[in-house]
Amino acid sequence: MRSTLRRRLIAPAAAIGALSLVLAGCAADEPGAGGGDADCTEYEQYGQFEGETVEVYATIIDVEADNLVTSWSDFESCTGITIDYVGTQEAETQINVRAAAGDAPDLMIIPQPGLLQRLIADGYVVAAPESVEANVDEFWSESWKGYGTVDGTFYAAPLMASVKGYVWYSPADFEENGYEIPTTYDELIALSETMTERNEGPYRPWCAGFGSGDATGWVGTDWVEDLVLRGAGPEAYDQWVAGELPFNSPEVTEAFDRVGEVLLNDEFVNGGFGGVDSIVTTTFQDSGLAILDGTCSLHHQASFYEAQWGEGVTVAEDGDVWAFITPPINADDPAAVTGGGEFVGAFNDSEATAAVQTYLSSDLWANNRISLGGVISANQGLDPANAQSDLARQSIEILQGEDTVFRFDASDLMPAAVGTSSFWTGMVDWIGGASTDEVTTAIDSTFP
């Protein structure tokens, strides 16, 4: 069976609209990736559903949508299910309208846990079948399963992921100047101090940009989240997300102070663009590109920034640009990363819907999709060798690391009045000169 693919092309979303790691290449003929003659042995477990159609709804469009469809083409051929994929960047806002009107899709790829929780609370998303939960128990960590669980009931399996907290740099710049990759946050600040000695016109050690249309400020929240997790630890991070640890607590304000060592320092920013005040007006898409012309050396951004470097730029340890994870506060601290991801929720419990949901939670789907390029997953059954870029492989290995402490992007977990409103605007005010106390107190006042 062939998928149907319906897409509405609208203006690119801010922030996560750039969720690709890299532009996917012509990898549709990778072994097992789908799109060719299917060996149905691995798909027999899902059953036969000739003539059944299952709608999958998501914000994913363009090349990533094409690859998504390819990733389940063998599943369709072997099960008889036609997957009707509807991709629109309006999906997050339209899903409530559709569900309330009785026109909910069968499945939705839900871009963050907060939306999933709201759909569950409204009675739209149903509990996941045992087959999906069994896959998640086998292939995912407890923390990832927890993001798809509400009040002890498991609803949605994780799908794709991103790793945040990378620091991008030029390997040639580091080699030429004798710079070493820092192993602690203090070493990162010391490296930044050393870089200021270059005193070369518009050059500054760091380049940064918060500009993202209506979502301006989200880049700054990622910085703070990184430093709360590294400085205060995962338990405090969880309390902060839940509203039990206020923004103006010592643990969170210390994270602001650490971020401020870079972003509020005119000697450190904003290479190629101006001073501190230029951070808000510089778009997040453009902000790291100053590394390529040598007007900055360091840029803090997620794995998906790989897609921004453009054609002809080699992303590799010995290439034009590469990245290391923001180092820990103490050298012996466990690896800690923040990140994002999607979850697959069902709006009915039909057997065909369950079959598709089960496949999407499997290691089989994860390897098929990752072999096509452009995304990663925290699925433990994923072979990093199937990734189509060095950074993707590194990111998968980080997510699969036994000692890695992973926490989901805090602003995606907080109530919308905070996570996608006052936290964003607070970061803009902070860059504009408001004090940490003023900003954190104002954000706390918006927490429900």
* DSSP-based helix, strand, coil % in the chain, nearest 5: 45, 15, 40
- Asked if residue 241 and residue 199 are part of one domain, the reply reads yes
Residues 293-344 have pLDDT tens digits of: 999 999 999 999 998 998 899 999 999 999 999 999 999 998 899 999 999 9
Same domain, 154 and 42: yes
Given a cut of 70, whether residue 227 has pLDDT beyond it is yes
Q: Is residue 308 one of the residues assigned to a domain?
A: no
- Give the per-residue pLDDT at 199: 83
Same domain, 14 and 112: yes
259 & 155 share domain: no
Q: Do the domain assignments include residue 170?
A: yes
Rg of the Cα atoms in the chain: 22
Q: Is residue 378 part of a domain?
A: yes
Average pLDDT over residues 222-238: 97
Mean pLDDT of the region 124-131: 98
**Can you give the pTM of this predicted structure?**
0.85
Does some domain include residue 332? no
Cα distances from 350 to residues 53, 84, 120, 122, 355, in angstroms, run 11, 15, 18, 20, 9
Is 70 exceeded by the pLDDT of residue 22? no
pLDDT at 403: 87
Q: pLDDT band at 23, cuts 50/70/90?
A: very low
Query: Is residue 282 classed as helix, strand or coil in its secondary structure?
Result: coil
Q: Could you give the CA distance from residue 265 to residue 280 in angstroms, rounded to a whole number?
A: 14
Give how far the C-alpha of residue 341 lies from the chain's centroid of Cα atoms, to the nearest Å. Answer: 5
Q: Does 358 reside within a domain?
A: yes
Please give the pLDDT value at position 21. 35
Domain that holds residue 235: 166-301+414-444
Same domain, residue pair 253 and 237: yes
- Same domain, residue pair 282 and 370: no
Q: Are 262 and 197 a contacting pair, CB within 8 Å?
A: no
Number of domains composing the chain = 2
The answer to whether residues 55 and 138 belong to one domain is yes
pLDDT, tens digit (0-9, with 9 covering 90-100), for 357-408: 999 999 999 999 999 998 999 999 999 999 999 999 999 999 998 889 999 9
Q: Are 212 and 158 within one domain?
A: no
Give the CATH number of the domain where residue 63 resides: 3.40.190.10
The per-residue pLDDT for 33 is 58
Handedness of CA 137, 139, 141, 147 (dihedral sign): negative
If asked whether residues 391 and 286 sit together in one domain, one would say: no
pLDDT reading at 20 higher than 50: no
Residues 32 and 127 in one domain: yes
Under the banding of pLDDT at 50, 70 and 90, the label for residue 4 is low
| pLDDT score recorded for residue 3 | 54
User: Are the CB atoms for 216 and 271 separated by under 8 Å?
Assistant: no
Q: Indicate whether 102 belongs to any domain.
A: yes
